Amino acid sequence: MSSIIKVSSPSNIALIKYMGKKNHELNVPSNSSLSWTIDHLRTYVEVKALSNKETDRWAPLESQQDISLSESSVARYLNFWKKLKSKLGVEGNFLVSSGNNFPFGCGLASSASSFSALTLAAHELSCKQGQKPLNEHQLALLSAQGSGSSCRSLLEGWVKWSEQGVQQVSFPFDNLIHKVIVVESGEKKISSSQAHKMISSSLLNVQRQARANQRLEDLCQVLQKGDWKRAYEICWSEFWDMHALFETSEPSFGYMTALTMKALNSLRLFWQNNGDGPLITMDAGPNVHMLFREDQNKLCDDILANCLEGFSVL
């Protein structure tokens, strides 16, 4: 059985978070979001044709790191594969293999890279079968129907997802260095899909859309002006805002651990002592993401060696 399609797609980390949906079926976000595409953390997908008697199935991609998806995750992935096939006019049944070049189960958001890679694979297959190609913006919106955050992975660098669609934006900060402090591994108890629903019970959610959109406007403005410190402050309040939504939901839930707090406090102290540091953010998980400017190589080494000793950083 020959491999007919091979694609890969990167992950991304949001600085202004997509949290809450206007439509849960189609993943229509309650607010706009802004992310940085993490080029080196990727999902690889390979698709092989099966006979007509067989049905679509999933397998781990052997060339990549060990992955074991739960039954419900496989079902979600294959359901979206079927939806993509039907939307893109793909005929036939396939073995879809996927894997990440980063460790599975380390709590890193991989739905962005895995769903965008799946969309790319289905699109390439449809073009091979003679269908009209979509542009990257149309592809991004299609991918959003599988996992909202995956739409931002289809573009490079800074990416904004708003009512106007998915667009690349430019700021005077390029080639950022991404590092994540892996505080805890293992699948999280509350998935982000569940979190999107549960936060509607929080009183803080009433004004969330306005706060997120305001922060997006402010962040774009300060990044444009080159004000890195102010950007750090906005990103800091934004991830706390999202985690406060989790904690004030009914029932409440949360992802931060004692080690998360330790890492956050060390990083804040570093900023206070040095007047400089990385942008800091967190996803719906316990791990802490850092984005360094390209001229902060030395500062990054300093933080890893002196401020985060004992932590596992990827």
The residues of the shown chain that bind ligand PMV, judged by CB under 6 A, are 14, 17-19, 33, 109, 111, 147-149, 192-193, 283-284
- Tokens found for residue 184: 């805890």
Gap between the terminal Cα atoms of the chain: 36
- The residues that bridge with 18 in the sheet, in sequence order, are none
- Tokens found for residue 92: 């036939």
CB closer to ligand PMV, 33 vs 64: 33
CB of 149 to ligand PMV, least distance (A): 3
CB closer to ligand PMV, 173 vs 246: 246
Backbone angles phi, psi at 135, to 5 degrees: -85, 170
CB closer to ligand PMV, 46 vs 283: 283
CB closer to ligand PMV, 38 vs 109: 109
CB closer to ligand PMV, 183 vs 303: 183
CB of 82 to ligand PMV, least distance (A): 19
- The residues that bridge with 6 in the sheet, in sequence order, are 46
CB of 152 to ligand PMV, least distance (A): 7
* CA dist list (Å): 26 to 33, 135, 142: 17, 20, 10
CB of 279 to ligand PMV, least distance (A): 15
CB of 18 to ligand PMV, least distance (A): 3
Q: How far apart are CA 4 and CA 278, in angstroms?
A: 41
Show the DSSP H helices in 135-227 as ranges: 136-144, 192-198, 208-225
Q: How far apart are CA 298 and CA 15, in angstroms?
A: 23
